[in-house]
Structure 1
């Protein structure tokens, strides 16, 4: 069975780039561009890994991660950000299903490798 990944990113262009790199690894990828769409996707599907922009436009990444923790407790969340919030690692104390915290500038191939790693575990 294919690993299922949800990518939640406000920028459709960046979301598309990340999705293409993940699909090249043979992962089954779904994109969401906002909190409402992400919550709907989590409610309707089962995901192994969620790539989640910490700063979603018009919504809360914590709400998405919280809901995923409730609906899909085994799903791992890879947070991506372009800010210094939680650079001290405290996000792992706040979000129980967080497994990684990387910068938005992380090369897409590296992000895909991180997702693949956590999907395998």
Structure 2
């Protein structure tokens, strides 16, 4: 199973990546919408860990592209903002499976990735 992490902060993406790799998963990292779409076009992924607030591009566009091209791939959203804190992201993004604060401990994020990826 390959996990795609889409996070603008390289340090944070690296921390998440190491924790997920410890679970035996292959991890690809993208830092923008464009990079994420490029990865999706050439690498099959099982789940995406996606920050709602990307520095370059739109997380919603990444989720929409994924939903259209790969409808079984789930997206686990993380954010540091209060945007979508009411849970409305689930109304806007069909393949959203979870919405967590960016401050969630990396081991917990890895466990969530494992949980949702195992459901396929």
Q: Which runs of 4+ in 1 moved over 6 A?
A: none
CA RMSD in angstroms comes to 0.6
Structure 1: gaps spanning 5 or more residues: none
1:71 to 69, 93, 99: 69
Structure 2: gaps spanning 5 or more residues: none
TM-score, normalised with respect to structure 2 = 0.97
2:94 maps to which residue?
Answer: 96
Aligned residues: 119
Deviation at 1:57, TM superposition (A): 0.1
Mapping for residues 1-121 of structure 1, pairs under 5 Å:
3-121=1-119
1:72-115 Cα offsets, whole Å, 9 max, x none, are 11001000000011111110010000000000000000000000
TM-score, normalised with respect to structure 1 = 0.97
